[in-house]
């Protein structure tokens, strides 16, 4: 049986370029209510290019934190590079949310 961490990282890999998921959505996808635990798993991600944790944002569309290169500015840079529009620190989840 896979651990919670393995499940979260596997689901995170499925988020395509140009789309985002939320911590809460990722938690639901692995049958959990622990969206903060999802954040802790992603914070420890050792392979941010292979497992694109920068594509996981807050439920209100705000970018949220990032422990990868460049911190929050790095996350914004990567998302914009992939075509995600960020206006006033928020992403339009109706347009960019991966389901």
Which residues are part of the catalytic machinery?
53
Say if residues 56 and 92 touch (Cβ distance below 8 Å).
Answer: no
Integer-rounded Cα Rg, in Å, for the chain is 12
β 86-87/90-91 pair status? antiparallel
End-to-end CA distance of the chain: 24
């Amino acid at each position: 049986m896979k651990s919670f961490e393995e499940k979260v990282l596997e689901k995170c890999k499925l988020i395509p370029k140009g789309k985002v998921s939320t911590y809460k959505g990722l938690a639901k996808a692995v049958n959990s209510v622990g969206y903060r635990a999802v954040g802790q798993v992603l914070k420890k991600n050792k392979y941010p290019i292979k497992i694109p944790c920068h594509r996981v944002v807050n439920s209100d569309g705000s970018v949220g934190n990032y422990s990868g290169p460049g911190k929050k500015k790095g996350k914004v840079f990567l998302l914009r590079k992939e075509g995600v529009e960020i206006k006033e620190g928020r992403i339009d989840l109706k347009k960019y949310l991966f389901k």
